[in-house]
Structure formats: C-alpha cells, structure tokens
Structure 1
Amino acid sequence: MRTIGVEEELLLVDPDSGAPVAVAGSVLAVGDDGLEAELQQQQIEIGTRPCETLDGVADELRHWRSAAASAAEQAGARIVAVGTSPLPVTPEVTIKPRYQRMVTAFALTTAEQLTCGCHVHVGIDSREEGVAVMDRIRVWLPVLQALSANSPYWQGVDSGYASFRSQVWRRLPTAGPTDRFGSAAGYDTEIERLLATGVLFDKGMLYFDSRLSHHLPTVEIRIADVCLHRDDALLIAALVRALVETAARAWRSGEPAPAVDTSVLRLATWRASRSGLADDLLDPLLGTPRPATQVVAALIDHVGEVLADQGDQQIVGDLLAQLLDRGIGAEQQRRWARNGDLSSVVRRTAELTAS
C-alpha cells in the first residue's frame, strides 16, 4: 500500500471581524512542532505523517487541524480552511530571507500571494516510476481542481470563479501543468533548463501541478485548494493515491501516457477553476466539453480497480456522495454570503475547519 501524506495551508483570521491577521509568529511560538510558517504571516501550514490507510490520514488531519485551532486561539485568532480570504486583506510577507528575495524578484505577484492549497504526497518506488506517474496523471488533475474548488472571493468581492486561488497562483512562472517528461532523465533535463534561465532561485520554485519531492521519495500533487471539510481533503488524498497506483500499473504494463497537449490541459484547469462542478469540464482524454458529473464519474471509473484492490471503494464512494450532496467549498461559501455579509462566511468556515 502506497503511503499518503497531506499538507494544508490555513488562513489566520480575527475571531470577531473575520479579517486575516498577521499572527503566524505567535501561533508557531505556542503551537506544536508540526505547525510551519508560510509565505505570508496571515497563514500557517500543517502536515500529516505518511499513512498507509485512509483512517490514518483522517486521524492525522483531525489532530493537526485541532492543534492548529488551539494554537491560533492562544494567539487570539482562528484558523480557516479557505483558498483565499473572503474579506479584503493586505498580506504581510514572513520575515525570512527567501521570502524577501521573492518579493524583490516577483514584486506584486509575491506580495499579493495569500492563497491556501492542499498538497498530497504519495510514495513511489523510484524517480523513474515517479516521472512515469506524472506523465499519466496530468490529464486527470483538473478534475481534482474542480472537486476541491474553495476560493470564490478575492479582496471582498465575488471573483466569478470557483477557485480564484488557482488564478492567483498561476501568476508564478512555473505554476500549472507540464509537458510529458518521458523519463527521469527527461525530467532532470527540463529542470536544468529552467534553472539555467536564472528566473528561479532553486528547485523549490518548481511549482508544477505535480512534481517529484525534493527531499522525500514521493510524487507531490499540488493542484487542489485547501478543502473546507476535512472529509473532502481525505477524498482528494484517496483519489490522488489511486491515480498514482493506476498510473504506475499502466507504466509497468507498457501503456503509453495520454498524448494530450499542455495547452489543452491549461484550458481544462481554467475551466475547472472557473466553474467547479457547476458547468461542463473538459474530457481528460479528448479535451472536449462534458457534464462535470460525467467527468467525475470517468475519474472514479479510471481508478476503480485500484480502489477495489485497496479496500477504499466504499469510503471514496461515500465521501464523494457527501461532497456532491452538500456542494463544493465555493458553493457553500456563496450560499452563506447571500445576505452580503462576508464576515459570516468566515465565521461559518472557521467553525467547520476546527470542528
């Protein structure tokens, strides 16, 4: 069974107004060692241990969200699992040489980059396997974007997007989908080519939708918004692991990676971020519009054999049914904002995040 680990970026907000507050330093000072600083002082990151079971991931997410909520409360704040702040905010970059250098290099793109994502690490046997996996899962990642979309607001207004976080994130030079690499050597050649431009500081600035971890034997999938519900984060993690194992099996059996152009994947990701599950998505293999429910069903069918083999089919079915019944995070935020009070949206999301 492949291991899974989940990293979540969480917003720090004022308990009364709901506005983001730059208290990450205070939160980290009183919190557990598993809490980490992020780019902006209005956010922190939590991360689970590598787990072999979905129950283990669920327990870890519950523990670390609770630990983060407790530390935030001691610092006079609350944590919120949203991809972007519903209320206006002026981000304050964390005082760290690397982040300050990013402000100098990328100016407003860095200064405005207060977004919260969900990153899933899945264990791999080798870098060769990892690259083969990335080449084969890339066409399915926009579906994960649609399922996790949880950032409809930007600076106090409705952006019109289900995931405006993805739009802000993709202003960074390397963010987004990648071409097929073909092999570990091809992946390394591409990285060397990008680093040689001088635009990037180091490998840490490879913000691909999926990449090989720089320090762990994992593939890291980075396309999802942080999920409002812990169960939705668990669903994304389960689907990512199933995609990785499905791709690895296909590679071992000699099946080629789908020949879908990166330009089409960019459109598929844009479509997913724009409307989530409320409109058509692009067919992962054909690149043509299909109802979102059909594309999600195609994903479940694609990984169905692996889910059955791992004993995860029932829980994934239940988690997906819950998500479709209540709606994605963006839809819930908009329902709570019908009276125009975005502070109430933050309060509701804070309650769910820490519950």
Structure 2
Amino acid sequence: MRTVGVEEELLLVDAESGRPRSVAARTLRYAAEASDPAEGGVDADAAPAAPDDVPGGSIDHELQKHQVETDTVPHTDMTALGESVREWRSNAITAARRAGARVIAAGTSPLPVASSIVEKPRYLQMVEHFGLTTSEALTGGCHVHVSVESDDEGIAVLDRIRGWLPVLLALSANSPFWHGDDTKYASFRSQAMGRWPTAGPPEAFGTAQAYHELVDTMIASGAILDQGMIYFDARLSHHYPTVEVRVADVCADAADTVLIAALSRGLVDTAAREWRAGVDPLPLSVAMLRLITWQAGRFGIEGELVDPRTVTPHPARDVVAALVEHVREALRENGDEEFVDAQVEEIFARGNGAMRQRATLEKTGQLSDVVAELARITAGLEG
C-alpha cells in the first residue's frame, strides 16, 4: 500500500484582531523547546519528532514570518494520518499561543497584512528576483506526498491525474478573501499562485527523461532559482520518492485534509494501474487545464465544474462523484471508501472552507470573526 504524507502551511494571527502576526521565529523556538527534554521535557500534547531516517514530522519556517509549515511522517492508514495532522496542528497551536498568536488553516489571510519575509538568503534572493510576487506571497497550501516506485511510474501518474486535480482544488477551496476584500473566488490562493512562472497545470511529459530535461531547462533559463521553485499543481518531489500533489488550499477542517490525501492516493493508484494496462492519459492541453482549474478556483463546489473526460460543464456534485467513481476501486482496496463517501457528503452538507468563511461573515459582518472561527475549526473545536 502506498504511503501518504501531508504538508500544511498555517497562518499565525493575532488573538484579538485576527491580523497576521510575524512571530514564526518565536513559535518555532517554543515548539522546539516543547519537544526537547533538555529544555524542560516533552510536551505531552506535542507530536513526537520523526526519527532521523524517516522524512517528515516537523514544524518549520515558510517564506513569510506570519507562517509556519507542518509535515507528517508517511502513513498507510488514513486514520493515523488524520491523527498526525491534528497532532502537528496542536503542536503549532500550543507554541503559537506562547508567542501571543493563534493558528489558522486558510489559503489566504481574510484581513490585510504587510509583508515580512523570513531573512534567509534564498528568500531574500526571491524578493530581489520576483519583487511584489514574493512580497505578497502569503498563501496556505496543502501538499500531499504519495509514494511511487520510480520516476517512470511517477511521470505516468502525473500525466494521468492532471485532469482531475481541479476537483481537489474545488473541494479544498478555502481562500475567498484577500487583503480584507471578498475576491468572488472560492480559492483566490490559486490565482495568487498563478503569478509564479512555473505555477499551474503541468503538461503531459510522456517520460521521466522529458520531465527532468524540462526542469533542468527551466532552471538554466535563469527565470527560477532552483528545483524548489517548480510549482506545478503536481510534480515529482525532489526530496522524496513521491508524487507531490500541490493543487489544494490548506483545509480548515483536518478531516477535509485527510479527504484530499485519500483521493490523491486513489488517483495515484488508479493512474499507475492505467499506465500498466496501457491506458492513455486524457488528451487535455495545458490551455484547457488552465481553464478547468480557473473554474474550480472561481466557484469551488458551488455551481458547475468541468468534467475532464468530456470537457463539458456539470453540477459540481456530479463531477466530484465522477472523481470518486474513477478512483473507487483504489479507495476500496486501501480501506478508504467509506471515509471518502462520508466526507464528501459532509462537505456538500456544510460547505467547503470558502463557503464556511463567507457564512460567518454574513452572520456577523466582521472578518475578525471569520478568523476566530477558522482558528476554532483548525483546532478541532467547532461543534
């Protein structure tokens, strides 16, 4: 069974105003103290650090001082993955509280924020090279790593999942606000990410050699700094033997995060099976994929999505159902079928993150209340 690990980019916000606070350094220091016996013992509520030979299991910096990133160790069981996601969120929340902040899982900040870049050489180089794109890059994504046997299998998978990735974006959409304004998008993060030169849907590569040659050519062009700036919606990880699905917004509800992870593994399993059976990828151009992804980011699960098999619009519920049916055999084999069916129904019953944020604003009229509700949901405290 394939392993799955999750990275979540989380925002640090003021406990009173809800505005982002640049306290990442202090938050990380307190998190390290909580897990270091030499600094007073291990916090019983903190997730243990991963062994040195196991990837993941940490909290670290992100580009902005208002943000931290957590990552889990790889899991084969979705219940265990969900527990790990919640444990690392709890660890971040506990450390942030000591730094005078709360933690929210949101694709963008609902309230305005001024740039505060972490002063690492690479990040400062990004500011110099990309200007405002870097300065305004305060977004929260959910990145799912699914194990693959080889780069050849990984590229075969990337070529066959690309049409379904917008559905994951629609389900996870959790960034309707930008600098205090309603953007009219369910995922404005997906628009903000589009500023980067490599972001968005990847082309079909055909072979691992073609993929690596393109990456090398992109870096050699001087337009990007390194492999870490390959921001395709899904890519081969340059650290681990995984396909990294990067299209999703970070989800406020940890159960939604696990849903995206389970569907991502289902897509990888299904694509690998198709490859071995000689089934060709869907014949989708990058131009059409950009359109399908835009539609998903604009409307989320409200209105219509574009079915990648027919390139025609259908109610979002129908396209989500088509994705689930596409991967159902893999979900059943992995023991994820019942959870996925139930969680999809849950999302359509109460809305995705963007819908819940807007519902809170409609109820209270205050974006600070939206942030407070996000903090409660992130911590698993909603009713």
For residue 266 of structure 2, give the secondary structure of its aligned residue in structure 1: helix
Correspondence for 1:56: 80
Distance between the aligned counterparts of 1:188 and 1:219, measured in 2?
A: 14
Correspondence for 2:303: 279
TM-score by length of 2: 0.92
Distance between the aligned counterparts of 1:202 and 1:18, measured in 2?
A: 34
Q: By how many angstroms is 1:55 displaced?
A: 1.1
Distance between the aligned counterparts of 2:189 and 2:333, measured in 1?
A: 35
Amino acid at match of 2:207: S
Amino acid at match of 1:130: G
Q: Alignment partner for residue 367 of structure 2, among 329, 332, 342?
A: 342
Distance between the aligned counterparts of 1:177 and 1:129, measured in 2?
A: 19
Correspondence for 1:85: 109
Amino acid at match of 2:83: D
Distance between the aligned counterparts of 2:80 and 2:176, measured in 1?
A: 31
Q: By how many angstroms is 1:287 displaced?
A: 1.6
Correspondence for 1:13: 13
Q: By how many angstroms is 1:91 displaced?
A: 2.0
Superposed counterparts of 1:30-109, under 5 Å: 30-32=30-32, 34-109=58-133
Correspondence for 1:241: 265
Distance between the aligned counterparts of 2:256 and 2:102, measured in 1?
A: 20
Distance between the aligned counterparts of 2:182 and 2:304, measured in 1?
A: 20
Correspondence for 1:169: 193
Count of matched residue pairs: 355
Deviation readout 1:26-59 (Å, 9 max, x if unpaired): 0001104611000000000000000011011011
TM-score by length of 1: 0.99
Amino acid at match of 2:370: V
Distance between the aligned counterparts of 1:112 and 1:201, measured in 2?
A: 18
Q: By how many angstroms is 1:319 displaced?
A: 1.2
Superposed counterparts of 1:117-136, under 5 Å: 117-136=141-160
Distance between the aligned counterparts of 1:272 and 1:91, measured in 2?
A: 28
Instruction: Please tell me whether residue 23 in structure 1 is matched to residue 48 in structure 2.
Output: no
For structure 2, the 5+ residue unaligned runs are: 33-48, 50-57
Amino acid at match of 1:342: L
Amino acid at match of 1:266: R
Deviation readout 1:90-128 (Å, 9 max, x if unpaired): 120111000000000000000000000000000000000
Q: By how many angstroms is 1:236 displaced?
A: 0.3
Distance between the aligned counterparts of 2:181 and 2:228, measured in 1?
A: 32
Distance between the aligned counterparts of 2:127 and 2:172, measured in 1?
A: 28
For residue 17 of structure 1, give the secondary structure of its aligned residue in structure 2: coil
Distance between the aligned counterparts of 2:150 and 2:322, measured in 1?
A: 28
Q: By how many angstroms is 1:218 displaced?
A: 0.4
Distance between the aligned counterparts of 2:16 and 2:216, measured in 1?
A: 48
Q: By how many angstroms is 1:340 displaced?
A: 2.1
Q: CA RMSD in A?
A: 0.8
Deviation readout 1:170-204 (Å, 9 max, x if unpaired): 10000000110001011112112212211111111
Correspondence for 2:378: 353
For residue 256 of structure 1, give the secondary structure of its aligned residue in structure 2: coil
For residue 82 of structure 1, give the secondary structure of its aligned residue in structure 2: coil
For residue 162 of structure 2, give the secondary structure of its aligned residue in structure 1: helix
Structure 1 runs of 4+ aligned residues shifted over 2 Å read none
For structure 1, the 5+ residue unaligned runs are: none
* Greater CA drift, 218-227 or 276-285: 276-285
* Greater CA drift, 325-334 or 281-290: 281-290
For residue 35 of structure 1, give the secondary structure of its aligned residue in structure 2: strand
Amino acid at match of 1:281: L
Distance between the aligned counterparts of 1:192 and 1:348, measured in 2?
A: 44
Distance between the aligned counterparts of 2:215 and 2:289, measured in 1?
A: 20
Deviation readout 1:190-246 (Å, 9 max, x if unpaired): 112212211111111100001111110000000000001000000000000000000
